[in-house]
Amino acid sequence: MVTAGMVVFALFSHRGLPWVLVGLVGLLVAAITIGESLRRGSNEAALLGLAGFSWSAVLFSLGGCALGVGAAVLHRRELGLPLLPAGGLEAFAVIACLIGVTEELVYRGWMQGRLQSLGWPAAVIMAAAAHAAYKSALFAWPTAPSEIDCVAMAVRTFLGGVVLGLLRKFSGSVVPSLVAHAVFDLMVYGAVARAPWWVWD
């Protein structure tokens, strides 16, 4: 239900009326499903990967930071952008980081935590696949001409999701994947003054 709701939200959230309402229904379904799951659970913090402090999580978070920087540098190079965002940080950088952190809480936090009963390899792969479906759906129905290759994006998002899932698994915390995603988004969107069309139009 969460995967379906998030895909519907991604497909329609940046469209005008009445489509945006369909997207909001998808987001509501996902939110209610997660909320009910957490309400019935006995240890929400452990499920989300937010239970307690550990030096392992701190060390893996440093690795996550390096991973986020490396992925952002590769992405910027592929787009022909300078190594670092020029002109300082714009306000949208904060929103971009919050979106990335939220995605990690949903996919590497809640979803991977819920799927642990299937074994950690399946949990990592299924959460990564769900995230790739959501991310690809964001670009499947563009509001403006776009040259984005949705298949390549799906593959990259899936592979990145597997790496982030492994960070969560071996650190025992979702924090390293939150750090990696936030650093990536900060470097990619830091100098962007306005949200791109796939966030909202």
Of 53 and 42, which is predicted with more confidence? 53
| Number of neighbouring beta carbons within 10 Å of residue 82 | 9
Whether 24 contacts 9, CB under 8 Å = yes
Whole-model pTM: value is: 0.90
Report the pLDDT value the prediction gives residue 86, as an integer from 0 to 100. Answer: 74
23: pLDDT strictly greater than 90: yes
Tell me the domain boundaries of the chain: 45-189
| Number of neighbouring beta carbons within 10 Å of residue 64 | 28
Report the pLDDT value the prediction gives residue 113, as an integer from 0 to 100. Answer: 94
User: Distance from CA of residue 24 to its chain's centroid?
Assistant: 18
Q: What are phi and psi of 13, to 5 degrees?
A: -65, -30
200: pLDDT strictly greater than 70: no
195: pLDDT strictly greater than 80: no
Report the pLDDT value the prediction gives residue 26, as an integer from 0 to 100. Answer: 96
Q: 94: pLDDT confidence band, cut at 50, 70 and 90?
A: confident
Give the model confidence (pLDDT) of 128-166 as tens digits.
Answer: 999 999 999 988 887 777 778 889 989 999 999 999 999
